[in-house]
Amino acid sequence: MWLSALSGKQREALLGLAHNVVVSDGLLDPNEEGMLDEFKREMELNPAVESQYLELEGIGAIFDTRASRIIALLNLIRLSYADGAFEIEEECLLSEVSRSFGLDDAEFKLLDNWVRRLQSLENEARNLMR
């Protein structure tokens, strides 16, 4: 969502952060792989591009606007739910990213709640199409 609004450097960094999220719980779920492919399509990145681990130090300088930070977090939270569960390792990592972006815990919880509501609406839409 809204990934096309990110700069080239932000897109590459988001892919690295996405890699951090999917490996944080030690499992790579097919739904997570699918969402990574979706990210690449939306960001117009080569599908063959492999995601790499990204250090969090300095991440706030790459995502230098509130909008880019919110876009990144919303998509990373969505990714963390792709396998059906928001694992503690994923939550801890994303909380750390959120703090690096200068967001407090209340804002992080608000973003998490928004993603959960979005997922509920997406599931509702899929059921309507059956």
Whether residue 109 has pLDDT greater than 90: yes
To the question of pTM greater than 0.85 for the whole model, the response is: yes
Domain ranges of the chain: 3-128
Alpha carbon distance 87, 63 (integer Å) = 24
Mean pLDDT of 103-114: 96
**pLDDT value, residue 62:** 97
Class of domain 3-128: mainly alpha
Q: Is 24 left (phi over 0), alpha (psi -120 to 50) or beta?
A: alpha
**pLDDT value, residue 33:** 87
Whether residue 64 has pLDDT greater than 90: yes
**pLDDT value, residue 11:** 96
Residue 75 pLDDT grade (very low, low, confident, very high; cuts 50, 70, 90): very high
Q: How many CA atoms lie within 13 A of 56 on its CB side?
A: 14
Whether residue 32 has pLDDT greater than 90: no
| Residue with the larger pLDDT of the pair 8 and 83 | 8
**pLDDT value, residue 63:** 98
Please state, for a pLDDT cut of 90, what percent of the chain lies above it: 75
CB 59, CB 15: distance < 8 Å: no
